[in-house]
Amino acid sequence: MPDLGAVRELARSITALENNQSEALLALHEAMRDTSAKGRVIGITGPPGAGKSSLVDALARQLRTCEKTVAILAVDPSSRSTGGAILGDRIRMRDHYADPGIFIRSMATRGHSGGLAATTHNVAEWLRIKGFDYVLIETVGVGQDEIAIAGVADIVAVVLVPGMGDDVQAIKAGLMEIADLYVVNKADYEGADRTVNEIEAMLNLGHGPKPPILKTIATAPSGIPELIQQLDSLPRRQHDAPTARFPIDHIGIAVRSLDAAACFYALLGLDTSARETVPPEKVRVAMLAAGESRIELLEALDPDSPIAKFIEKRGEGLHHVALRVPDLNRAIEKLTAAGARVLHEPRRGAGGHLYTFVHPSSAGGVLWELIQA
């Protein structure tokens, strides 16, 4: 749990993630190697007026009484102003601001590169890694962006209110597929049971497991511990790792001799002394630290090596560019399905990472190395 001093730093790192800054993305990428974070990412969605903010409020308060740490992301994909409406809602939460166990952030994603799904996913994952037990994502907008929450959250709660009438039918199209549970909020309003029945009827038309339906009164509050129990016990959704934009890992340069190349790179202030051999590629490699990226000098150990053949044909020079991907097998799957020529199954490199290559004939003339840390 971050202390008060760390909150400012956390806010700064989230801004960097929202702006897709490469250092922040790299930090996220590195942190994701440690899979010990056990927090849950909960998506709270539903039509305007369902009382989602009050529900998130009530959840946060209840979780704090159980000593659980909570991060709240209020996401407004359609925000025309600077998220003012969300911040207004959140004023109620201001008594929590002195509590380091709760972190609140508004995200007006319009204008952010990467869109709602990628940015929110990165930020939510970052908060989870930072040790929050619960990351509550409240979406304010409606439509396609809201559906994207299903690709981000471990559990999606769809919040409805009594007296929606035909609206339950309208919701069926989009939200039904993403609901892991339904919450009928404002359950003290007339027609709450009818709304529950309507949801049940709708679910009975479908196949497969039926999501639970819970009744809450967020403002009372009532039904909140039961809701938390469900959020804890439902199985997590499976989805892709965050689609961070990973930076270039390194640039591979074919040289006849590492020792001969060392002089030139020394003039640039780059140290070529750390070397290793990569037996499957029949090469000796010097990795040069170059900012956040690296330069990989490749010397052939055998006339049969791809580097020897490359130099024979083209001479010394730029050989390949290596890109980090979050999931190499999945990248290969997608590329192969699209007809691209992937050179081999993932191999394990000297640094323990996995790698493969995409042939230049299916990559615009560039030999791309794909790397999974």
What residues line the site for Co ion (CB under 5 A)?
Answer: 252, 296, 322, 369
Residue 137: helix, strand or coil by DSSP? strand
Residue 10, classified by CB atoms within 10 Å of its CB into exposed (0-12), middle (13-18) or buried (19+), is middle
Structure token pair of residue 301: 């150990």
* Shortest separation between residue 369's beta carbon and Co ion, angstroms: 5
* Shortest separation between residue 361's beta carbon and Co ion, angstroms: 19
- Comparing CB distances to Co ion, the nearer of 56 and 285 is 285
Specify the DSSP class assigned to residue 282.
T
Enumerate residues 6+ apart whose C-beta is below 8 A from 269: none
Instruction: Report strand pairing: 70-75 vs 134-139.
Output: parallel
Q: What is the largest CA-CA distance in the chain?
A: 83
- Comparing CB distances to Co ion, the nearer of 228 and 283 is 283
Other Cβ atoms less than 10 A from the Cβ of 18: the count is: 21
- Comparing CB distances to Co ion, the nearer of 108 and 283 is 283
* Shortest separation between residue 146's beta carbon and Co ion, angstroms: 41
The phi and psi torsions of 323 (rounded to 5 degrees) equal -115, 140
- Comparing CB distances to Co ion, the nearer of 10 and 278 is 278
* Shortest separation between residue 182's beta carbon and Co ion, angstroms: 50
- Comparing CB distances to Co ion, the nearer of 121 and 324 is 324
- Comparing CB distances to Co ion, the nearer of 2 and 252 is 252
Structure token pair of residue 186: 């404002």
The answer to whether 119 and 26 have CB atoms below 8 angstroms apart is no
- Comparing CB distances to Co ion, the nearer of 215 and 284 is 284
Q: From CA 168, how far away is CA 81, in angstroms rounded? A: 29
- Comparing CB distances to Co ion, the nearer of 25 and 322 is 322
* Shortest separation between residue 43's beta carbon and Co ion, angstroms: 39
Residue 242: helix, strand or coil by DSSP? coil
Position with the least CB separation from Co ion = 252
Structure token pair of residue 303: 């006339």
Q: From CA 242, how far away is CA 244, in angstroms rounded? A: 6
From start to end of the chain, where are the E strands? 40-45, 70-75, 102-107, 134-139, 155-160, 181-184, 213-215, 248-255, 275-278, 283-290, 293-300, 317-324, 347-348, 354-358, 368-372
* Shortest separation between residue 336's beta carbon and Co ion, angstroms: 20
Which is nearest to 101 in space by CA: 7, 164, 16, 173? 7
* Shortest separation between residue 271's beta carbon and Co ion, angstroms: 18
* Shortest separation between residue 113's beta carbon and Co ion, angstroms: 28
CA distances from 319 to 258, 281, 314, 367 (A): 15, 13, 10, 7
* Shortest separation between residue 178's beta carbon and Co ion, angstroms: 40
Position of tokens 């804890």?
232
- Comparing CB distances to Co ion, the nearer of 115 and 349 is 349
Position of tokens 């993630």?
17
